[in-house]
Structure formats: C-alpha cells, structure tokens
Amino acid sequence: MSHRDRVYRTSGIILRRTDFGEADRLLTVLTPERGKLRLVAKGARKPSSRKSGHVELFCHSQFLVAVGRNLDVITQAEMVEPFLALRQDLLPTTYAYYVAELADAFIGEQDVSKPLFDLVEDAMRWIDQAAQSPEPEKALPLAARYYEIHLLGLAGYQPQLYVCNLCQKPLEPRVNYMSAAEGGVLCPACGYERVGTAELSLNGQKVLRFLQTHPWDNVRLLNLTEGTWQELERVLGDYITYYLERKLKSIDFMHRLRRQMKRREP
C-alpha cells in the first residue's frame, strides 16, 4: 500500500463521540463521499491537543485520516463550521442531538449520499439560526419537523399525503388518518377503524404538504399554533418510530426539558 493509499482527506459532521482509551475519542462522522465513518481522534481529550477544538459534537470539520488496522485515525482536523449557537443553550443542544441521532439511526455505515449529508448540515445550520431567533421555542420545532419529513424522503420512506395509500382516491379536505404501516395518509373509509392509524386534521395535513414541497426559506416564515406543532410532532414521531422500530433517546429528554421549561414560566 502506497502512502497515498494509506491516508485520505474528507470533510464530515460529527454525529456522536465517546471516550476511547486513556486520552482518545471515538467519533461517528457523516461524510459526503464516504458515508458514515467511525474514526479515532488520538489524544483529543488532552488539554494540550490541537485537535480537541476541531472535533466537537455537531461541528463540520475537515480531516486528514490514516487508514488503520481496525479503525482509521484522524491525524489532522480543521474546523469548517462550528455551529456555536446550538451548543450555548440546553434546548438547541437537545435538538442538535436529535438531528444527529436520527441521521445516525437512518444512515448505515456503507450508505453514501451527498443529499443526506447536505440535509444534515442544513439542519444543524437551521438549529443554529433558530437558537439565535427571538422565539427559539417556536423556531426549533419547525426546523425539526422540516428535517424529519425530508430525511424520510431521502431515506425512502416519504409519506404519501395526496392520495389514500389503500384505495388510491384523492384525499378530500377533511380529517384523514396517518398510517406508518401503509406509508402515508388514508381516507376515513380506509383508515377510521384500521389499527395503528392516527387522526390527521385538515390543517395538519396542509402543513405537512407545505413542509414536503416548499424550500426552507418559505417554511421558516410559518407561524403556527402550539396545537398544530404538537399534532405534527406526534404524527411524524409515530411514523419515524415505526420504521426505526425504536424510540430515540433524545426524544424523551427533549420532552422532559420542555416540561421543565414550561413549569418555570411565570
């Protein structure tokens, strides 16, 4: 193996990190051209390490990597985009954890998808911007719902929102039913008594369609009621849980944190 074959450069977003050995970190890094990698940042936990500031959770960095016997090793790291605001308060940090955990759950180590990488990078940027907005408690859920529905589409699980997935009739403007098992919305005749369906209001259906078909610059201007956001969070959360076959850890923590924040409100 030549020297060129033993090293490679890649950029990536750090989805997860754990302590490894006495002073190292084991990173899960999402890259645009190599998929999801597990890389060792040697000495990154040492106060004197030059790498430590460039291998923070959620940041986008450029890496020089040496091929290892079991795990590849980061020999150099340079920050590209730090997303500082999403680490300055617990609520946006929790949303960033959710973005990273959801990407980690849906993307396999051999899966290479530049659009998926771009979406995760955009989501971190939306969370970062939402954390700095006048009303982050509204802007953060909006960014999360937009990320969810587009990640589902790129992962091959895009919900059908325009025709009933059983009878194939166009959905009428009324209360319909979301079914993860059937891959989208069902009409009342097909979904009312079907196990595993959840009511989807007309307004909720309109917002989901808007999220699915419009760019972020239009979506971020939406101003919806708390009831609508709760409905969308529940419907998309159930849909995602069905396909992952498990609930993400960051979801329960997010719910507990928001309940605590509401109790503190005057």
Annotated domain spans of the chain: 3-81, 85-264
Burial profile 82-94: b = 16 or more Cβ within 10 angstroms, e = fewer? bbebbbeeebbbb
Sign of CA dihedral 237, 243, 247, 249: negative
Backbone angles phi, psi at 54, to 5 degrees: -105, 0
Query: 85-264: CATH homologous superfamily?
Result: Recombination protein O, C-terminal domain (1.20.1440.120)
Over 217-235, what HEC string results? HHHCCCCCCHHHHHHHHHH
Global pTM reads 0.93
Which CATH number applies to 3-81?
A: 2.40.50.140
Sign of CA dihedral 67, 69, 72, 76: negative
What pLDDT, on the 0 to 100 scale, is given for residue 1?
46
For the chain of 266 residues, list the mean pLDDT of each consecutive stretch of 10.
74 94 93 95 84 89 93 94 90 95 90 94 96 91 96 96 96 96 96 93 97 96 91 95 91 83 67
Q: Which two tokens stand for residue 45?
A: 């936990």
What pLDDT, on the 0 to 100 scale, is given for residue 88?
86
